[in-house]
Amino acid sequence: MTSTTHRPAPRVGVIVAYTLRSCIGPKRWLGCLLPCAGALLFGLLTHAMPEAAGESFARVAADGIFALVVPIASLVIGDAVLGAEVRSGVFHFTWLTPTPLTQIVVGRWIGGTLVALATIVPACALAALVAGDTEGVVPAVIASAFGASAYIAIFIAIGCVARRAAVWSLAFVFLVERLLGTALTGIAQWSPTWESRAVFVDWSPGAPQSIVRDGIPVGGGAVVRLVLITVIGLAIARWRLSRLRITGAAD
Amino acid sequence: MTAPDAPGALVAPLDPAFAPNPTVDVANTSVWFGQKVALSELSCSFGPGVTGLLGPNGAGKTTLMRAITGLIPVNQGTVRVEGRNPRTDRKVHARMALVPEDEAVPPGLTARQLVRYVADLKAVADRTAPDRALDEVGMLDVADRRVDGFSKGMRQRTKVAAALVGDPRVLVLDEPLNGADPVQRAHLIGLFRRLGSEGRTVIVSSHVLNEVERLADRIIVIVHGRLAAAGGQRAIRDAMNDRPRHVLIRADDRRRLGAALIGLDSVAGIQFDTDSLVVATSRAAELALSLPALASELTVRLREVRPLDDSLESLFRELVR
């Protein structure tokens, strides 16, 4: 005789499975894979540069991959896992359950990070290989993994704060990080772009010292900073989720 | 000091806006969105059984339902479900469910996956619960089809199944019959009535008023974010006795009958149509007594006497006027 009762699955696991199954649709996959293809093009671009493979890939990765590919691809994922669902009016299926809000946020973030690990991170590793910088593969993997997970946490938070999350997320990347972060070290210290780049250039043997930015943590310190950014992003998302007005798609 | 149940003690009549054994309490609640006031100092309660929520578009029905389920915060007043704040106490969602009006459903999921997702988050131990909920709404045979490919009615029924899977004590249904075919409507109406008779608190809003008449034991009417009326359909009508009502009369000699009717105190006005006359009266019961006698006296044969405004729809028009 078979029992009709079972022990309920852990809620975080249920949310992760739902995130992977429902939040990242075919268009989102395409939107994520296009910048990833851009990473490979950046890898190919290094062959046109006069420097050695390690140095040329470090320059391209610092200014192209970590400043453009990782944030854009992470934006597509980070917006999909929560903000887009809130806007489309289906988030109530999750919110109207006794699931603690922290578990909802963490589940969505894990789901998004798993997608990033399957797309952005391999694309960055492949870019290093395409560029001929085999020693840059591991630093690229570590930097892109921690950078993408920090970005996803930030974009989840922005999705809980702003209705036009994609616009505000782009503003964060290009105005706050690129514009203000270039000028102000205080902002760069809390920027996934600058910190993931700092992880890569510190650990990549071929990277020239001239592209290491002064005044921000590098290497392991940058990894810790990216983890801190992730935690802060998730905490903001959790806090905002408890104050969110969850309205329908038409509102 | 007089005991409350002592003979002769005055017993205050129950306010029809408040249910005798409330599970959902809305007290002096206001909600506004910027300059727009969606609910204004609304107080009412809901108890076991089916309560219909009526009001024109923009009256605040959906806002009230979202406030009850905690989806939106209230700016003033309180909302309590089984004594808990649905906005801050997440445990209350184990015993409450909402079927929103929106057509939106999560993409990429089958009906069974969606209902199972809600069941898992509500920690439903019975593994047959999702299929039983789908069967309850007649969706079991299409349970493995994707919900984003469903028609509006099928989506609505899937959402009802997702709401039922947690065996809720409080069920909030915003236009749940939208898009359902007549057979399914009848089935869902029967289902909601049964859930109400089982002692659950079922709150239903609908624009199809004859369905609310079939569904609800009690009706709450909201107009411009305020409580306009509450009680049974008849009670609302009784509360409006001072308002003119209209009675359509078809008779052999309508002109002679009309001329005689105009002399009655209970008749406020008469309008002649091509083959009938419409009598406006503020005392319908008195008119009902005097009309047959008058027709008999005039030897006028009455072919049809029908109140024009006894449906909820007409009550509603009166209330929003």
pLDDT in tens, B75-117: 999 999 999 999 999 999 999 999 998 889 999 999 999 999 9
Residues in Cβ contact with B236 at an 8 Å cutoff, skipping those fewer than 6 apart: B219, B221, B229, B230, B315
CA distance B148 to chain A (A): 11
By the 8 A CB rule, do A11 and A103 touch? yes
pLDDT at A218: 93
- Residues in chain B closer than 8 A to A249 (CB atoms): 102, 104
Mutation to test the B interface, candidates A97, A239, A241, most B Cβ within 10 Å:
A97
CA distance A152 to chain B (A): 21
Percent of chain A with pLDDT over 70: 97
- Residues in chain B closer than 8 A to A89 (CB atoms): 100, 102, 104
pLDDT at B8: 38
Q: How many CB pairs under 8 A join A and B?
A: 96
- Residues in chain A closer than 8 A to B117 (CB atoms): 14, 18, 93
Q: Residues 186-225, chain B: which have Cβ within 8 Å of A? A: none
Provide the token pair at B231.
């009680």
pLDDT in tens, A151-164: 999 999 999 998 88
- For each of chain B's 321 residues, which pLDDT tens digit applies? 333 343 433 444 468 889 888 999 999 999 999 889 999 999 999 999 999 998 877 889 999 999 999 999 999 999 999 999 999 999 999 999 999 988 899 999 999 999 999 999 999 999 999 999 999 999 999 999 999 999 999 999 999 999 999 999 999 999 888 878 888 888 999 999 999 999 999 999 976 666 777 888 888 988 889 998 888 877 766 665 556 678 889 998 888 899 999 888 888 889 888 888 999 887 777 888 888 888 988 999 988 888 786 665 566 666 655
Which residues face B32 on adjacent strands? B37
pLDDT at B9: 39
The residue ranking higher by pLDDT, A243 or B320, is A243
pLDDT at B311: 60
Residues in Cβ contact with B36 at an 8 Å cutoff, skipping those fewer than 6 apart: none
- The SS3 assignment for A217 reads coil
Strand pairing report for B76-81 and B226-231: unpaired
Enumerate the H helices of A23-136 as residue ranges. Answer: 26-45, 53-60, 70-78, 84-88, 92-95, 101-131
Is some CB atom of chain A closer than 8 A to the CB atom of B107? Answer: yes
Top CATH class of B24-238 equals: alpha beta
CB-based contact A11 B113, cutoff 8 Å: no
Rg of chain B over Cα atoms, rounded to whole angstroms, equals 24
Q: DSSP code of B244?
A: -
Provide the token pair at B211.
């369905």
- The SS3 assignment for A229 reads helix
Predicted complex ipTM: 0.91
d(C-alpha A181, C-alpha A167), whole Å: 18
Domain boundaries, chain B: 24-238, 243-320
Strand pairing report for B96-99 and B170-174: parallel
d(C-alpha A236, C-alpha A212), whole Å: 30
- The SS3 assignment for A134 reads helix
pLDDT at A213: 87
Percent of chain A with pLDDT over 90: 83
Measure Cα distances from A162 to A165, A237, B13, B85 in Å: 5, 11, 48, 25
Closest by CA position to B19, among listed B52, B58, B64: B52
Which residues in chain B belong to E strands, given as ranges? 24-33, 36-46, 49-54, 76-81, 96-99, 170-174, 201-205, 218-223, 226-231, 245-251, 267-272, 277-281, 302-307
Residues in Cβ contact with B26 at an 8 Å cutoff, skipping those fewer than 6 apart: B42, B43, B44, B45, B64, B67, B68, B77, B78, B79
CB-based contact A85 B106, cutoff 8 Å: yes
**Model-level pTM?**
0.84
Report the topology of domain B243-320.
Alpha-Beta Plaits (3.30.70)
- Residues in chain A closer than 8 A to B98 (CB atoms): 92, 96
pLDDT in tens, A208-231: 888 888 889 999 999 999 999 999
For residue A1, pLDDT over 80 is answered with no
pLDDT at B241: 57
pLDDT in tens, A78-93: 999 999 999 999 999 9
d(C-alpha B277, C-alpha B260), whole Å: 12
pLDDT in tens, A36-51: 999 999 999 999 998 8
Which residues face B305 on adjacent strands? B249
pLDDT at B179: 79
Handedness of CA B80, B81, B82, B88 (dihedral sign): negative
- Residues in chain A closer than 8 A to B127 (CB atoms): 4-6
Is some CB atom of chain A closer than 8 A to the CB atom of B97? Answer: yes
